[in-house]
Amino acid sequence: MSRLWRTGSGDPLPPHLYPYARYDHEMWWYRLIPPGASSLGTALISAFLGIAGSQASRGGRMARVTVRHSALAVLVALVWGLNFVALAVGLAQVPPLLFLAIRFVLVVFPAILFVRKPALPWRSILLIGTFISLGQFSLLYVGLYLGMPAGLSSLVLQTQVLLTIAITAVWLHEKPTRRQLAGVVLGGVGLTVIAVGRGLTAPVLSLFVLVLAATSWAIGNVLTRQAGRVSGLGLTVWGGIVVPIPAVALSLIVEGPTAIWAGLGHFGWTALASTLYTAWLSSLVGYGIWNTLLAHHEVSRVTPYAMLVPVFGMSAAYVFLAERPHALELTGGALLLAGVAVTAGIRRAPVASR
């Protein structure tokens, strides 16, 4: 199996430094890592993803999405789909912005004590955290609180797929292939059919807020891709530090002290379970894997998998919240799945050289 002996900056690692280097499974090369600076969380995510030197990009090209990484992207979509049900349950007891602050306190602590800070400037970390964590989730929570059904919310939020590919084409000049464009169009048709099946009965304001949340997520996706190969888990944890204080401040201004104290007073086991699911499974596990995949593959090859979220989200809403999908919604889900398969261009992982 071929490996690249390089420093963290990508320069060739001098032979006399080999004894002091360790193999970085996320960066695909040997680099100098100070003793005790390893991250348990990063190592677990890397091992789970199965990233190895044989999957490294060649000649500056991004690696293609393998079957294993495709399966993990689908798993993340499942976790995020169920997340909408968990959010709906939690928001029934706690005001949205306060709920968001509590969630990200658990995302950041105690994980930040064990997860190494990404090798990025603070500006990049804070920008990514602002758009993916603060912007997306504050708008999502408010949209749900304003009356958007959980299943329909999981659908509308996936407009970020189309927005991400469009922003990437303009910003990073990653031109989608015809196959990818065809898949996105097919998936878009599926999303439209699902929306028609739902009847778009949600209030217009809440729908607009969800579209803004999708836009914030799309910008965060592009910023993550632009940052390069960094620890997905580290980016999730350290980027999450921008959320609690602004969320609490907004909660005090918008929701008021009375609503905050009432929410804390009604914070029971159900709200706790909802918070732990959204903080640990959805944020730490979900975004840890997702951001790592974005760092190692072209954005237009990863983001289409998020189009599976409404399929899982609407199914979960049917089971747990009694939201009944119609025939049009099921048809749209099938078209959406077909669009994901076409856009992703899934193939088997290449056999490692020996």
Contact predicate 302/77, CB 8 Å: no
95 Cβ contact list (under 8 Å, min separation 6): 145, 251, 255, 259, 260, 263
Q: How far is CA 102 from CA 41, 97, 208, 210, in A?
A: 21, 9, 25, 21
Q: Is the pLDDT of residue 352 over 50?
A: no
At 346, list the tokens: 């899934």
At 220, list the tokens: 């965060």
The CA distance from 266 to 55, in Å, is 49
Percent of the chain past pLDDT 70, that is, above it, reads 75
**What strands lie across the sheet with 21-24, from one edge to the other?**
4-5, 29-32, 21-24
Mean pLDDT calculated for residue range 111-133: 91
Residue 24's pLDDT band, with cuts at 50, 70 and 90, is: very low
Nearest to 243 by CA among 102, 87, 41: 102
pLDDT value of residue 19: 41
The CA distance from 354 to 345, in Å, is 26
Nearest to 299 by CA among 224, 230, 246: 224
Residue 153's pLDDT band, with cuts at 50, 70 and 90, is: confident
The CA distance from 283 to 137, in Å, is 11
pLDDT value of residue 233: 80
Span between the terminal Cα atoms of the chain, in Å = 5
Mean pLDDT calculated for residue range 335-345: 73
Q: Is the pLDDT of residue 295 over 60?
A: yes
Q: Within a 13 Å sphere around the CA of 48, how many CA atoms are in the beta-carbon half?
A: 21
Contact predicate 225/168, CB 8 Å: yes
Percent of the chain past pLDDT 90, that is, above it, reads 28
By DSSP bridging, strand 4-5 and strand 29-32 are parallel
Mean pLDDT calculated for residue range 84-96: 91
Q: What is the DSSP string of 224-247?
A: HHHH-S--HHHHHHHHGGGSHHHH
Q: Is the pLDDT of residue 86 over 90?
A: yes
pLDDT in tens, 192-239: 887 777 665 555 678 788 889 999 989 998 898 788 777 678 888 999
pLDDT in tens, 249-279: 999 998 999 999 998 888 888 999 999 999 9
Q: What is the DSSP string of 96-156?
A: HHHHHHHHHHHHHTTGGGTSPPPSS-HHHHHHHIIIIIIIHHHHHHHHHHTT--HHHHHHH
Map tokens 């303009």 to a residue: 170
Q: Is the pLDDT of residue 68 over 70?
A: yes
Amino acid at 130: T
Q: Is the pLDDT of residue 288 over 50?
A: yes
The CA distance from 144 to 214, in Å, is 13
Q: Does the reported pTM lie above 0.85?
A: no
Map tokens 């798993």 to a residue: 75
Residue 5's pLDDT band, with cuts at 50, 70 and 90, is: very low
Q: Is the pLDDT of residue 31 over 50?
A: no
Residue 33's pLDDT band, with cuts at 50, 70 and 90, is: very low
| Residue 89, H or E segment | helix 67-91
Residue 181's pLDDT band, with cuts at 50, 70 and 90, is: confident
pLDDT value of residue 201: 57
At 60, list the tokens: 């500056």
Q: Whole-number mean pLDDT of the chain?
A: 77
CA dihedral 189, 76, 104, 272 (to 10 degrees): 100
Cis peptide before 257, with omega less than 30 degrees from 0? no
pLDDT value of residue 163: 79
